[in-house]
């Protein structure tokens, strides 16, 4: 999986026209690919291709769906980070200030890369379904390939649903332009579709234990499908079902909290850890040929500056502050961090999470260390514990178990924060929301958490941060990209 993009080169010629940013303007995949899976090796390559758009964005694979757009949509729109005033940041500043229009390229790329991924998943699901079972020689391989495709399709639709709400549910390969003219489904229909795909994935995928210590570590597993299902259910406030799904992941024994909080984000030798449930696989290059730019944008170019409010949210002595944020005077790559010298910052702080020391990276001829083998963690065990805790708290049941989940996250080796005191539902809800903020900071989660916690909460927090333009009813969903509206007259704008 670390070589996912290299593996995909073998089929890039076939998929060349699938690389366009906007789903509806592509040459239909189905014309070339439908029914073309004739060997196990082909099936695996087609599945690998379905992972690839997780890296995409802004027209190149270094600034991708997760590696850039996730923090743009999930962090700088929140009270956790800001981006500097800069000619290169105009569209990001527009999102930050809630001057959001349908021509924003970050929304276009998020929508487009997700639908490229969906299209590739559809080809896998149909292609394997139409192929004889005897093409698969490895036991369980047919099921694994189908499970990966269902999981990835659910993930892409989840990414669309939390940003845009109900979207067109294209579930078969596109063979004519008319096939792309699909109405938006309702949010309820979209969430139900995602749930169904994840249930399918759970029936097909193996435990992550099958992948450990193999080259396939990093592929979707049953645990990943179940953890994503728990999160999908949480977003819909299906508390009991979310708790059950999270509990299944916990009870599996397949995952645990790492003993080094920071290493899972910035150590190339400590990825796909026992805490990781699913992460987007990157690879390292020297130069502009690939890898990811998350480290540059997060910390070394200073595009994602933590706010004073986020810094103040950490309790006194919480080491996660220094694992997540560079504060003035902190050791930063062997030098004391001085906000007046070095990357732009509008807050006085820089991101540390997902930022590599340049000394550990390959340096291109132009001096940049952009091609970085840093994975993006989509789901990790700490979040599953917090999902479980939140689902219990919102039901006002088993509050002692919810406290135990929160305390487990706080007590990990290297963090060792004291346990939270006992409390009623309201008190534990406040503790849970605090813990999600500091544990998952700079992971593209905060804005979506604020939105799902409701109008009063989100408005109070964001107006308190000076985001006077924020209107919950207007901004709980982002606008459908204008190019998609132009290409599909059946779409209705948010």
Structure confidence by residue, pLDDT tens digits, 73-83: 999 999 999 98
- Judge if 342 and 479 occupy the same domain: no
The domain boundary, picked from 318, 351, 374, lies at 374
pLDDT, average across residues 342-351: 83
The pLDDT of residue 21 is above 70: no
Q: Is the pLDDT of residue 477 over 80?
A: yes
- Mean pLDDT score, 150-171: 98
Question: Bridge-partner residues for 338, per DSSP?
Answer: none
315 and 184 in one domain?
no
Count how many domains the chain has.
2
Residue 174 has pLDDT above 70, yes or no: yes
**Range with lowest mean pLDDT among 16-30, 41-55, 236-250, 354-368:** 16-30
Label residue 84 by pLDDT band (50, 70, 90).
confident
Compute the mean pLDDT over every residue in the chain, rounded to the nearest whole number: 87
Instruction: Tell which wins on pLDDT, 177 or 296.
Output: 177
Task: Establish if 337 belongs to a structural domain.
Answer: yes
102 and 199 part of one domain: yes
The CATH number of whichever domain residue 62 belongs to comes to 1.25.40.390
**pLDDT(283) > 90:** no
The strand pair at 325-326 and 350-351 is best described as antiparallel
Q: Mean pLDDT over residues 398-405, rounded?
A: 99
Q: Domain end: 374, 407, 434, which one?
A: 374
Reply yes or no on whether the pLDDT at 371 is more than 70.
no
User: Would you say residue 193 lies in a domain?
Assistant: yes
Most confident listed range (28-42, 350-364, 379-393): 379-393
> What local confidence, expressed as pLDDT, does residue 343 receive?
64
Report the range out of 54-68, 186-200, 353-367 with the highest average pLDDT: 186-200
68: tokens are 């850039």
pLDDT of residue 176: 84
Q: Write down the pLDDT at residue 8.
A: 39
pLDDT band at 295 (very low <50, low <70, confident <90, very high): low
pLDDT value at residue 301: 62
CA distances, 9 to each of 3, 33, 45, 118, 445 (Å): 10, 16, 9, 19, 32
Indicate whether 32 pLDDT > 50: no
Q: Cα angle at 191 between 386 and 115, to 5 degrees?
A: 105
In a domain, 481, yes or no: yes
pLDDT at residue 431 in the model: 99
List the domain range (segments joined by +) for residue 316.
Answer: 294-374
pLDDT bracket for residue 3 (50, 70, 90) = very low
Q: How far apart are CA 194 and CA 405, in angstroms?
A: 26
- Asked if the structure places residue 255 within a domain, the reply is no
Task: Judge whether 146 lies within some domain.
Answer: yes
Residues 6+ apart with CB under 8 A from 366: 287, 288
pTM beyond 0.75: the answer is yes
What does the pLDDT read at residue 29? 40
> Is the pLDDT confidence value at 374 over 90?
no
Can you tell me the mean pLDDT for 401-429?
98
CA distance 208 to 219: 8
Proportion of the chain in helix, strand, coil states, percent, rounded to 5? 50, 5, 45
Q: Is the pLDDT of residue 417 over 50?
A: yes
Q: Nearest-CA neighbor of 404 among 417, 415, 416, 420?
A: 420
């Amino acid at each position: 999986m670390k070589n996912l993009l290299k593996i995909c080169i073998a089929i890039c010629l076939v998929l060349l026209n699938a690389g366009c940013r906007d789903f509806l303007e592509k040459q239909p995949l189905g014309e070339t690919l439908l029914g073309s899976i004739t060997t196990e090796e082909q099936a695996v390559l087609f599945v690998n291709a379905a992972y690839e758009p997780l890296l995409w964005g802004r027209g190149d694979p270094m600034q991708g769906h997760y590696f850039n757009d996730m923090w743009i949509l999930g962090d700088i729109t929140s009270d956790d980070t800001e981006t500097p005033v800069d000619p290169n940041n105009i569209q990001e500043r527009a999102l930050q200030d809630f001057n959001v229009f349908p021509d924003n390229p970050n929304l276009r790329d998020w929508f487009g890369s997700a639908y490229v991924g969906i299209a590739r998943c559809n080809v896998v699901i149909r292609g394997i379904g139409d192929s004889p079972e005897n093409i698969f020689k490895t036991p369980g391989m047919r099921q694994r390939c189908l499970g990966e495709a269902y999981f990835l399709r659910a993930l892409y639709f989840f990414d669309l649903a939390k940003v845009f709400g109900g979207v067109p549910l294209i579930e078969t390969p596109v063979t004519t332009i008319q096939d792309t003219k699909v109405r938006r489904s309702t949010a309820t229909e979209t969430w139900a579709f995602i749930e169904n795909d994840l249930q399918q994935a759970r029936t097909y995928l193996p435990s992550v234990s099958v992948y450990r210590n193999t080259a396939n570590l990093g592929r979707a597993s049953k645990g990943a499908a179940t953890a994503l299902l728990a999160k999908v259910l949480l977003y819909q406030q299906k508390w009991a079902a979310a708790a059950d799904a999270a509990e299944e992941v916990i009870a599996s024994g397949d995952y645990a909290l790492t003993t080094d909080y920071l290493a899972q984000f910035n150590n190339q030798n400590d990825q796909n850890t026992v805490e990781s449930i699913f992460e987007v696989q990157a690879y390292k290059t020297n130069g502009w040929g690939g890898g990811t730019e998350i480290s540059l944008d997060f910390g070394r170019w200073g595009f994602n500056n933590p706010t004073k409010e986020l810094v103040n949210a950490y309790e006194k002595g919480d080491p996660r502050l220094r694992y997540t944020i560079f504060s003035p005077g902190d050791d930063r790559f062997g030098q004391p961090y001085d906000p007046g010298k070095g990357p732009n910052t509008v807050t006085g702080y820089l991101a540390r999470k997902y930022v590599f020391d340049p000394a550990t990276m390959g340096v291109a001829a132009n001096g940049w260390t952009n091609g970085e083998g840093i994975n993006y963690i989509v789901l990790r065990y700490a979040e599953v514990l917090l999902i479980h805790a939140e689902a219990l708290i919102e039901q006002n049941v088993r509050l002692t178990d919810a406290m135990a989940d929160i305390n487990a996250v706080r007590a990990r080796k290297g963090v060792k924060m004291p346990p939270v005191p006992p409390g009623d539902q309201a008190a534990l809800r406040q503790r849970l929301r605090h813990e999600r903020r500091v544990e998952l900071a700079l992971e593209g989660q905060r804005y979506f958490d604020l939105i799902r916690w409701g109008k009063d909460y989100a408005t109070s927090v964001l107006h308190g941060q000076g985001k006077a333009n924020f209107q919950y009813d207007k901004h709980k969903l982002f606008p459908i990209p204008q190019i998609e509206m132009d290409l599909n007259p059946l779409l209705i704008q948010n």
